[in-house]
Chain A
């Protein structure tokens, strides 16, 4: 089954404790992206990757890092999480930017 998986689905952590949210897709997609969804702000792109070892900043990259060492994986790293990073995070993949993006189920992160 074609899918995008994210782990964990829910996470409560404290300020400053490094965390990683994993994202994996099994569709051999080149394009992968991370978004955050906040009330009243919609979906905002954090980082995206056009291919392995190619990443670029989206609209709200501050406080986040990503890596793309393999085509299928695109982890989101928060080196020192802060409460303003409490949000619902979605990973997505597609064959290209203008193609249908397949979204993961979301990761709800709470930073205390």
Chain B
């Protein structure tokens, strides 16, 4: 049973436009959510996070939105840049457990 779902395996976005990556979760006990970015042949790197007491967190071009009632979070990247092409993992934690989604591969088109 997937507790953290990223239903889009891949996404292509034109450079300069907005990229929106989605993530759904099933466990209402999750209280912290994170996004990681991964380039080929490298380990994932932290991008942005949000606590369950907030509904939005912004860091430069990256904004994460949390809708607790829908158990849904999204990552917005604007404007999208070529270096944003990577795999993005959504993760959720509760207590001492953390669960990652399967990832979404983002392609930024020139």
- Interface on A for B, CB 8 Å cutoff? 4, 33, 35, 40-45, 48, 50, 56, 58-59, 90, 92, 97-98, 100-106
Contacts and interface: CB of A to CB of B under 8 A. Distances in A.
Identify which of A35, A42, A58, A106 gathers the most chain B CB atoms within 10 Å of its CB: A42
Given A103-B45, A106-B43, A45 B102 contact: no
A81 B41 CA distance: 23
Given A42-B102, A98-B93, A103-B45, 18 more contacts: A35-B100, A41-B102, A42-B6, A42-B103, A43-B89, A43-B100, A44-B100, A45-B97, A48-B96, A58-B97, A59-B99, A92-B43, A97-B96, A98-B31, A100-B49, A101-B34, A105-B43, A106-B43
Interface of B: 6, 9, 31-32, 34, 36, 41-46, 49, 89, 91, 93, 95-103
Given A40-B102, A41-B102, A50 B96 contact: yes
A106 to B, nearest CB: 6
B32 A101 contact: no
Contacts of B6: 42
Contacts of A97: 93, 95-98
B39 to A, nearest CB: 11
